[in-house]
Structure 1
């Protein structure tokens, strides 16, 4: 089985204009674009048309958690305007985080309320992790388990690189939430703490993560697609091409490596 391959456009934010990259990404074998705000902010429908004109689609998109909390209907409108089906809040700013189980349960409850609204329109809400969700709280529990514990309607875009940086075992996390995972980001890292050039991130296959060992757990999950992301590449083309090639070598996406 091969998965559709998406490209997280945040990776290319430092190399505008972004729409000029779309035909190149399609030529590399990318099936989809995963945009982040503000890439689609000016005109979501026009952005969706540009992606489709390049021969790709939008499966999921990153959006603000507070937007989902305040006006989930509007963000469902945006999803439909772009032709997307998965709304993905990815972050809680550091200044807003609290080291309590109640706070993180509240994040999960916000996601669950948004997921209920989205489900009425045939859409899905998924959380995207960073490293902070894997740091133990004073009571020994983890934020990620409170976030995803609010209800099965909230799905999961699992970012493997951030899990490694958070000190957790990506294979175990893939197994723990297998039925909730809708997308897998194959982000690679040079070290568990982040170091060196490009903020320590690497193209898929060029870092420390043993991707071959993770493939069985990926395949056992409910993921519908995989995603390439790099938070600060020096060369977005080199990153995008290398990551796509490595995923093909793993047998996760279609085409010859």
Structure 2
């Protein structure tokens, strides 16, 4: 069974306030055993706390977030400037996966830019593989756009066959592809799964104010803006089918993630997701 954990982006403020080790203790208390580190600086103190968590708490540092090079979408160490440090961190923490959280904005907009970026990913994946580390790419809904009829996902796979995927099932759903179809299509390269639900909220009462004012465009905007990231089990996704399918597709880690908790304490959101996952056998 895939290892269940937390995407630490959700708790970046708590790490800043409480320190990484204290946060890891709370995660373990929720019966979660793994973390993926993203949007948290991998400085000496954080890395030491993670190493202590591995040693004292049995934490599995499943993946670290990296970028290919410095830039607007780089949220951690990058392979161009910090390759040796990244490999060393993985060795210290017994981490086998690093992941790219987003492609450059330019690559989302044009086929040639996407192909150029994917070629860089191929080179990075091959280099990391020689050091025993697997590089994964995390999708968003934009990865289901098409250039000349080819899905961006397929373009990346064609140009960068050494690159594996971290599949965010919420973003797949938001992109208009059935998550079960995604898992079947890319079976064998889906190493990490982001587990968060897809919730549609009621149209807000304030939308009627737009109609009363004759502002149909305002009402339409409010009508369209009712999709939320949700705690696992509190949305519309079929987790009892999706999670076994993800394991069949090669998933080694399931990381609970919620990009926005809408004012709720992230610990409470994670606890709700954990309880639901336990209720279906995870």
In structure 1, C-alpha distance between the alignment counterparts of 2:198 and 2:177, rounded to whole Å: 14
Partner of 2:2: 3
Structure 1 position 246, deviation (Å): 1.9
- Please give the TM-score of this superposition, normalised by the length of structure 1: 0.86
Partner of 1:209: 237
Give CA-to-partner distance per residue, 1:80-122, whole Å, 9 cap, x none: 233311010111243x335332222222221211111111111
Q: 1:63 aligns with which of 63, 66, 70?
A: 66
Is the deviation greater in 109-118 or in 206-215? 206-215
In 2 relative to 1, CA 28–248 (structure 1 residues): closer, same or farther, beyond 3 Å? same
Is 1:189 the counterpart of 2:232? The answer is: no
Give the aligned CA root-mean-square deviation in angstroms.
2.4
In 2 relative to 1, CA 178–18 (structure 1 residues): closer, same or farther, beyond 3 Å? farther
Structure 1 position 191, deviation (Å): 3.4
- Please give the TM-score of this superposition, normalised by the length of structure 2: 0.79
Number of positions where the alignment pairs a residue of Structure 1 with one of Structure 2: 247
In structure 2, C-alpha distance between the alignment counterparts of 1:7 and 1:182, rounded to whole Å: 15
Structure 1 position 75, deviation (Å): 2.4
Conserved? CA contact 1:44–1:81, under 8 Å: no
Is 1:241 the counterpart of 2:268? The answer is: no
Partner of 2:151: 142
In 2 relative to 1, CA 30–147 (structure 1 residues): closer, same or farther, beyond 3 Å? same
Structure 1 position 215, deviation (Å): 3.4
Structure whose alpha-carbon radius of gyration is higher: 2
In 2 relative to 1, CA 144–194 (structure 1 residues): closer, same or farther, beyond 3 Å? farther
Q: How does 1:104-183 map onto structure 2 within 5 Å?
A: 104-137=114-147, 139-183=148-192
